[in-house]
């Protein structure tokens, strides 16, 4: 099982990760061209490639893109679209506006983890919270700094489409952990393997 390099983990510029179809304004040719590049990186951008492939599948124009996944030796993240729908259903604009309290400044995040068995769908997710920038915390996980089990070896990348629009969350530890637990519980029915602390 390949161990990826530690990435920079920045969100891709210009992508609205909160939108159910972030590539709706891209042409088929644009998406097909960039999928190969996203899959060739170390670490690969499996999230972006999967979201673009989903858009192409909706247009019935995914053959070349599907072949790029096969050529790269990766599978698309099978639950990513459904997980995004679930998070948007739970964390509505009304919930985000009305239920955050106190000083904001921390972040919740979801990190893609692979290396599970075929029965668990190969890919899983780790849910965490941090007072640091998400990219910094994910790099720490990969480097083994206060890392969750398995992430130094099997961590891949943050899944921005599952958390970016939720942030920031309360800075106080109790409030931060509450939102982390909410996110964990939102994803657990959809993703076969979700790890991370649950406060309640």
Determine the pLDDT at residue 61: 95
Determine the pLDDT at residue 199: 66
Instruction: Give residues with Cβ within 8 angstroms of 133, minimum separation 6.
Output: 107
Domain that holds residue 114: 1-200
Determine the pLDDT at residue 1: 64
Q: Could you give the 3-state DSSP secondary structure of residue 175?
A: helix
For 78-87, b/e burial (b = at least 16 CB within 10 A) is ebbbebbebb
Q: Does 118 score more than 80 pLDDT? A: no
160-174 pLDDT, tens digit per residue, is 999 999 999 999 999
58-90 pLDDT, tens digit per residue, is 999 999 999 999 999 999 999 999 999 999 999
Alpha carbon distance 153, 1 (integer Å) = 9
Determine the pLDDT at residue 119: 63
Determine the pLDDT at residue 64: 94
Alpha carbon distance 89, 85 (integer Å) = 6
Alpha carbon distance 110, 167 (integer Å) = 12
Contact 7, 157 (CB under 8 A): yes
Alpha carbon distance 122, 78 (integer Å) = 9
Instruction: Give residues with Cβ within 8 angstroms of 196, minimum separation 6.
Output: 126, 127, 128, 148, 180, 184
Q: What is the pTM of this model?
A: 0.95
Q: Does 200 score more than 60 pLDDT? A: no
Estimate the crossing angle of helix 80-90 against helix 46-58, to 10 degrees.
90
Determine the pLDDT at residue 101: 86
Alpha carbon distance 35, 64 (integer Å) = 10
13-47 pLDDT, tens digit per residue, is 999 999 999 999 999 999 999 999 999 999 999 99
pLDDT band (50, 70, 90) for residue 97: very high
Domain count, the chain: 1
Average pLDDT of the chain to the nearest whole number: 94
Mean pLDDT for 130-151 is 95
């Amino acid at each position: 099982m390949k161990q990826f390099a530690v990435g920079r983990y920045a969100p891709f510029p210009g992508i609205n990760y909160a939108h159910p179809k972030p590539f709706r304004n891209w042409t088929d040719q644009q998406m097909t061209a960039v999928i190969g590049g996203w899959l060739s990186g170390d670490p690969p951008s499996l999230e972006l490639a999967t979201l673009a492939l989903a858009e192409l599948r909706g247009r019935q124009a995914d053959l070349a893109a599907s072949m790029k996944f096969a050529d790269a030796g990766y599978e698309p993240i099978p639950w990513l679209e459904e997980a995004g729908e679930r998070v948007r259903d739970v964390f509505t604009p009304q919930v985000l506006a009305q239920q955050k309290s106190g000083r904001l400044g921390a972040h919740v995040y979801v990190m893609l983890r692979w290396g599970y068995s075929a029965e668990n769908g190969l890919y899983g997710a780790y849910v965490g919270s941090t007072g640091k920038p998400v990219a910094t915390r994910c790099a720490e996980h990969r480097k083994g700094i206060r890392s969750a089990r398995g992430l130094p070896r099997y961590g891949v990348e943050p899944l921005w489409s599952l958390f970016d629009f939720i942030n920031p969350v309360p800075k106080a530890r109790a409030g931060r952990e509450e939102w982390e637990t909410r996110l964990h519980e939102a994803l657990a029915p959809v993703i076969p393997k979700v790890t991370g602390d649950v406060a309640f």
